[in-house]
């Protein structure tokens, strides 16, 4: 089997490549720039920016399965006044162009790494695959529209599509807010996050990669949508406590009441940050368990330890 991994130099794509190579799978890694440190066992293919005119034919030669990780990613501080066109160009048009060319060349399956943000920003109930999508930002809209485009192609060709909607992904090499959190803990910075009683689903990098690899060949995964998580939901306070333990650092948490924390962050123009820190966002992975027989192989504390170890070694 030959697997093409797009976004192969990214956080998730790189880990997928490493796992597949370790299992003896032939992997083509699609990257935008030549790899600074090529990984043994990978065949590299340079592809320009993801978009409607990207030519994938060289990268798709001999490929049976695509793991599509490449995307214009969600960022906390968006600089574009209207980012939706840019998200659509990469995440919708670029994904649909890849799938159409894949179908023409006889690729059998495409695993699409989507996002929980297709469903929204959370609430009291855990999301299920049967819930009506309700994306609330440009990134989530683009991911949902890409899913719709992929389903349309799958309905009229032999290409099988598997959609995976992960929540926040963490693990060795994680960046963005999770890295900032580890940085704060490493420096002993007091955090006003000691009284948050929300519930949020996360997925460790190892668990996400294991699920993606499962979907590559599992016959019952074809043309299905799945949520994936660690199977254990945490509050923000619990996450910080357990991450601090993994880092062997004290968690200097100040128990600021949630209403006061929300109000303070909102006044500072950080409404989205307040929602992430205080709100609920859970996913139900019963479908993955029952339909595919999949269970998360890595416990939360083990993945936190791996993330902490990597951070401390590379800071």
Note the Cα 38 to chain centre separation in Å. 23
Question: Are 82 and 76 contacting, i.e. CB atoms less than 8 angstroms apart?
Answer: no
CA 67 to chain centre: 12
Cα 105 to Cα 49: distance, rounded to the nearest angstrom: 21
Token readout for 75 is 């960022």
How many CB atoms within 10 Å of residue 104? 13
Residues 124, 282 contacting (CB under 8 angstroms)? no
What is the rounded CA–CA span in Å between residue 258 and residue 250? 22
Residues labelled as active-site residues: 139
The phi and psi torsions of 301 (rounded to 5 degrees) equal -65, -30
In 10 A of CB 50, how many CB atoms? 23
| Alpha-carbon gap, residue 207 to 44, rounded angstroms | 25
What is the token pair recorded at 82?
């209207």
């Amino acid at each position: 089997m030959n697997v093409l991994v797009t976004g192969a130099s990214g956080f998730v794509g790189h880990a997928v490549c490493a796992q597949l190579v370790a299992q003896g799978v032939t992997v083509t890694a699609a990257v935008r720039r030549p790899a600074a440190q090529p990984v043994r066992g990978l065949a590299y293919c340079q592809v320009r920016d993801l978009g409607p005119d990207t030519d994938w034919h060289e990268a798709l030669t001999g490929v049976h399965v695509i793991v599509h990780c490449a995307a214009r990613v969600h960022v906390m501080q968006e600089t574009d006044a209207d980012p939706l066109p840019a998200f659509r160009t990469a995440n919708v048009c670029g994904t649909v162009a890849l799938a159409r060319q894949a179908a023409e060349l006889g690729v059998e399956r495409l695993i699409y790494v989507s996002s929980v943000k297709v469903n929204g920003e959370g609430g009291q109930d855990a999301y299920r695959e049967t819930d009506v999508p309700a994306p609330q930002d440009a990134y989530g809209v683009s991911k949902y529209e890409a899913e719709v485009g992929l389903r349309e192609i799958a309905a009229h060709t032999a290409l099988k599509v598997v959609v995976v909607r992960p929540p926040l992904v963490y693990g060795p090499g994680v960046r963005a807010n999770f890295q900032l959190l580890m940085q704060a803990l490493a420096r002993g910075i007091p955090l006003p996050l000691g009284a948050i009683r929300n519930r949020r689903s996360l997925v460790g990098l190892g668990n996400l990669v294991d699920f993606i690899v499962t979907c590559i060949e599992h016959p019952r995964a074809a043309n299905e949508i799945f949520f994936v998580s660690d199977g254990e939901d945490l509050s923000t306070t619990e996450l910080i406590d357990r991450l601090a333990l993994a880092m062997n650092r004290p968690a200097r948490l100040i128990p600021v009441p949630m209403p006061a924390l929300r109000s303070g962050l909102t006044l500072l123009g950080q409404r989205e940050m307040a929602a992430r820190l205080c709100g609920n966002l859970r996913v139900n992975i019963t479908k993955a368990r029952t339909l595919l027989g999949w269970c998360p192989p890595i416990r939360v504390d083990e993945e936190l330890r791996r993330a902490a170890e990597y951070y401390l070694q590379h800071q």
